Amino acid sequence: MVECRYCGEQISTESDDATDPDYLDHIAEEHIHDLSDIDEKKLRREWDGSVKEAKSPDYRFSAAQLGAATTIIVLFLGFFFVGYIM
Ligand SMILES: [Zn+2]
């Protein structure tokens, strides 16, 4: 059992240290954007350097896409509405 240093959750792990793969999986899944340098190094060792890929901003990218799509819809509806009342 290891207590997560980011959210305080008790992670069930085989060993009691913070290099346990189950714990590293948890911080990678839940806290990848908040990791300290030390934890990132641990992950890099565990994952053989693929931390950068895990950190790649897929989710930020889709958030940006969603924002752009919303803007376009709002603009479109705005033009439509203005055209309707004129
Ligand atoms: Zn956590």
Per-residue pLDDT of the chain (86 residues; tens, 9 = 90+): 999 999 999 999 998 888 898 999 899 899 989 999 999 888 888 777 566 656 665 555 566 777 888 899 999 999 888 887 77
Alpha carbon distance 29, 22 (integer Å): 11
Runs of H (alpha helix) within the chain? 21-31, 37-47, 51-55, 58-85
Predicted local confidence at residue 9, as pLDDT:
95
Q: What is the pLDDT of residue 8?
A: 96
| CA 9 / ligand 1 centre spacing (Å) | 6
Q: How far is the CA of 68 from the centre of ligand 1 (A)?
A: 31
Residue 5, pLDDT score: 94
Q: What does pTM read for this prediction?
A: 0.54
Measured in degrees and rounded to the nearest 5, phi and psi for residue 8 equal 80, 0
